[in-house]
Structure 1
Amino acid sequence: MLRHTRFGRTSMAVLVAASSAIVNVVACSDSEQRDVFSSEVDAADAAHLPETGTEPTLDGGPADAGPSFDAASEPVTCSVTPCAVELAAGENHVCARMSAGDVRCWGSDDFGSLGRGEPDADTRDVSFGPLTVVELPKSVQITAAYRTTCARGEDGSVKCWGGNDRGQLGLTPLTTDTRAHPQPTVVGLSAPATRIDIGQRSACALLSTGGLACWGANDKMQLGREETGTTLSPGPSKVPGLKVMRTAASNTTTYALTDDDKLAAWGALAAREGSLDPDPLPAVIPTLNRVTDVSVGLTHACAIAEGSVYCWGSSAKYALCTGLPSKETLPAHAALYSDAYPQQISVARNNTCVRLTDGTVQCCGDGSRGQLGAPLADGGGTVALSFTKATSFTGHAVQVVTTAQTTCALLRTGEVDCWGGNQHGELGQGTADDDAHPTPAAVHFQ
């Protein structure tokens, strides 16, 4: 029996809403056009309803409600060689940081997102398998979003490659263009970086001096900078009274996790109410406490707060995971059906996936390419309105990342499994195809 929690909507309400959606669509004629933000969902799309079970809470729950919540990342044991220790994903590409400090990427290379260097004449390597990014120092962290990837070296230097349509590469002098940038270039920071985070159209780095430097798109003041202009080169961002631990950014809003487990936001107004929009100064989102992770996509974002998942924004494919029409102005509770706690979350254009403390993965949203990690319904596409367990994945995940059509999990062993779409070679098999792949495949590292 489902247990009510003190976090927002009840699990039972989610199931009732989802079930009602299926009933409603039966009464509609095939010729009617449905609003993607209405409660109507094709019966085939709604095939993946959440599994019943018990959702744990941090306090007040029964003794057998599951393990105590721990926000710390689970380490990789490196029982294989080569061994991946961190993943990062953009729109159609994935990168892995290896235990030796090199970075290997696979998937779409349309904008140089794989970092394979300038081609010799017309001999660009079109291999879809993972290859090592060129001319990087030993890396200690990687980050990716949309078509851009960055790596931070042991000395605090940052190199970026790929898309630069909003100046995400941090080139000096400031340059924006739509060309491919396959050669990693150094970002001109005023001090060594202790962390780097790429957003959808911008980037921010935490500096050894304690400051925050951001660059890229600034049309909604999302860089927190005094300067005006649609794009800006790296420079100091104002975050008065906040100690930022990491950032994440949509097209128009920047979010920051703070040292006291708050989530602040600036730029276009999102996840909170206010009279100033856009707002260049950070303001804490009041409804979220004890925030341990956040992930941001093009049109929606999700955070783990007090051991539960909350999402806001909009999604035509129900990637907010609430079981209800996917349009929320303020953070809405997204129920999980497990005795384990959500520990890390990843948001893509039409999907959201979460890694739980027991190493399992749950996803919601579009499943047309098998990216939910569950068998497809007869007759084609599937949409999961709420979090659904990736039953095809049997490993123990320590990280999950999502591209536009693919899900990848970093295993505790140091291996990487991917499932879903492979149109751009996102599965890391060295090939590409248009088929759906709901069953995980191990990435072929060379």
Structure 2
Amino acid sequence: MADVVAANVGFVKSLSAAIRGQMWVCGKTAQLLRDLAQPPPAASPSPSPYVPEGCSQAALEAVGDPACKRCAKHVAMQDHVTCVILYDGSVECAGDNTYGQLGRGKADSDDHPLIQAAHVLAGMTISSVGTGGAFTCVLAAPTQGNKVYCFGRGRSGNLGNGDSKASAAPVAVLGLRQSSRIIQLAIGSEACVLYAAPEEGSSSAVQCWGGEYGPVAVNVPNTANVTYLAVGLHRTCALLANHSVACWSYPLPPAAVPGLGSEASGVVTRISLAGSPLRSRSTVACGTVRGSAGSSLWCWGKDDLLSDSELPWKVTALPGDVVDVALGWGHACALVKSEAGTGGEVYCWGQNSAGELGQGYSNGTLDHSRTHTTQRVRGLSNVTAVFAGRSSTCAVTAAQRVLCWGLNIAGSLGTGYQLQELTGPIAMQGLCA
């Protein structure tokens, strides 16, 4: 199969003989697949599910097909934790569980290199999952109240329950309104939700908690026209109904990003934020922009690594249409449509201290391990979705595999291995039994 990484000798020699079996994933965002096949429509915060080969829509909805019930619908990753939400509405996580953020009912200091069920959510159907590394939040399905629950570290009010204590059990976020349906959960250093419509008499369709927002959900003013959220380190950016972008750091109000969303620049379709505690000058953001000549990638912000301009600039060293982007603390990866095949290729740039660029090697120290030149991730093709965490990345292929690389502390990439660095794509294990 063309998209399978057949050997990992060039990435991690000690692992090349240990990759056994296959891991199949039957779910990914329909919006991404449409982007790969044709110019994308306006972004949607809750796209309809893609129906993979061998799995009917009815099987996905009823979760009665054994080939489908453990299929990954979404990947969420940050710091030393990776979680997947499956088509049966359950959540499984791998990595660090110091604060109980893996949902196993208790905190521990062990490494967890394989994804396992978040038992604290047993009996719940989950629509969305996000992790801030030390804490995890989930959005319950509309049939189960459309509420948000969080567990893990409570410092800075990240659990949203009015307290700062850690909790290995899920706690309900306080202050969320019930007048409108939540359509997106977005997690960074803080957490935010987007509603289908603003509250009557209010300019807010967004609520957030944690950090400067406080320990319970509060309204974010002037967000009535937001259609999609991306949350980074103490900063949030949003796609607006007019296809432009606005960003803010609470309590400052949202401010438009100049030069994006105009007829000249094109329609912004996706956004992603970087941001590291080690680099506090500015948060970098990137967005895919669809114009008459195709889809391109634009970035803005200053961190002396990914971007050196507060004004949006076009990333030119990419060989085709850019259909998705994912940013970590100090690296960025773009999904570029291939001329042939059903998916695309991934190109990364920035920090490579832990193999973030997928080149089969790392460059050692934080100060001498960077590149401003985009690098194609080796041994990876036919990619349909890309996700990034602190210093790591995961990609979903057209053959329904999830492959991850980069920093693997506590086994957070779910490959079954506890090496600190995976410098090339390795398959996540334990899905689609």
Q: TM-score, normalised by structure 2?
A: 0.71
Structure 1 segment 88-99 matched on structure 2, within 5 A = 88-99=76-87
What secondary structure sits across from 2:373 in the alignment? strand
Could you tell me which residue of structure 1 aligns to residue 299 of structure 2?
A: 311
Distance, in Å, in 1 between the alignment partners of 2:349 and 2:360 is 14
* 2:325 matches 1:351: no
Could you tell me which residue of structure 1 aligns to residue 285 of structure 2?
A: 301
Could you tell me which residue of structure 2 aligns to residue 371 of structure 1?
A: 356
Q: CA deviation at 1:413?
A: 3.9
Aligned-partner residue type, residue 151 of structure 1: V
Distance, in Å, in 2 between the alignment partners of 1:284 and 1:435 is 38
Could you tell me which residue of structure 2 aligns to residue 196 of structure 1?
A: 184
Q: Deviations over 1:60-109 (max 9, x none)?
A: xxxxxx96422567836165553111111111211111111111111222
Residue 443 to residue 367, structure 1, CA distance change in 2 (3 Å): farther
Structure 1 segment 38-437 matched on structure 2, within 5 A = 68-70=38-40, 75=50, 77=52, 82-118=70-106, 126-136=111-121, 137-155=124-142, 156-171=146-161, 174-177=162-165, 179=166, 181-188=167-174, 189-191=176-178, 193-211=181-199, 212-217=205-210, 219=212, 231-239=214-222, 242-267=224-249, 279-280=252-253, 282-289=254-261, 290-298=267-275, 299-306=283-290, 307-315=295-303, 318=305, 320=306, 326-339=307-320, 341-357=321-337, 358-376=343-361, 382-394=369-381, 396-437=382-423
RMSD after superposition = 2.9
Q: Is the 8 A contact 1:311 1:334 kept in 2?
A: yes
Aligned-partner residue type, residue 111 of structure 1: Y
The answer for unaligned runs of 5 or more in structure 1 is 1-65, 224-230, 269-277, 321-325
Distance, in Å, in 1 between the alignment partners of 2:394 and 2:358 is 10
Q: Deviations over 1:291-350 (max 9, x none)?
A: 11111122322111232212223345x3x2xxxxx43222222224223x2122111111
Distance, in Å, in 2 between the alignment partners of 1:105 and 1:443 is 12
Could you tell me which residue of structure 1 aligns to residue 64 of structure 2?
A: none
Q: Deviations over 1:379-412 (max 9, x none)?
A: 9975331322112213x32221112232111233
Q: Deviations over 1:27-76 (max 9, x none)?
A: xxxxxxxxxxxxxxxxxxxxxxxxxxxxxxxxxxxxxxx96422567836
Could you tell me which residue of structure 1 aligns to residue 429 of structure 2?
A: 443
Residue 293 to residue 435, structure 1, CA distance change in 2 (3 Å): closer
Q: Is the 8 A contact 2:234 2:249 kept in 1?
A: yes
Q: Is the 8 A contact 1:366 1:372 kept in 2?
A: yes
Residue 429 to residue 201, structure 1, CA distance change in 2 (3 Å): closer
Q: CA deviation at 1:186?
A: 1.9
Residue 440 to residue 154, structure 1, CA distance change in 2 (3 Å): same
Distance, in Å, in 1 between the alignment partners of 2:256 and 2:184 is 21
The answer for unaligned runs of 5 or more in structure 2 is 1-35, 55-66, 200-204, 262-266, 276-282, 338-342
What secondary structure sits across from 2:114 in the alignment? coil
Stretch deviating more after TM superposition (100-109 or 300-309): 300-309
Distance, in Å, in 2 between the alignment partners of 1:376 and 1:126 is 23
Aligned-partner residue type, residue 318 of structure 2: Y
Q: Is the 8 A contact 2:236 2:249 kept in 1?
A: yes
Distance, in Å, in 1 between the alignment partners of 2:222 and 2:363 is 51
Aligned-partner residue type, residue 289 of structure 2: A
Distance, in Å, in 2 between the alignment partners of 1:201 and 1:419 is 22
Q: CA deviation at 1:256?
A: 1.4
Distance, in Å, in 1 between the alignment partners of 2:163 and 2:376 is 43
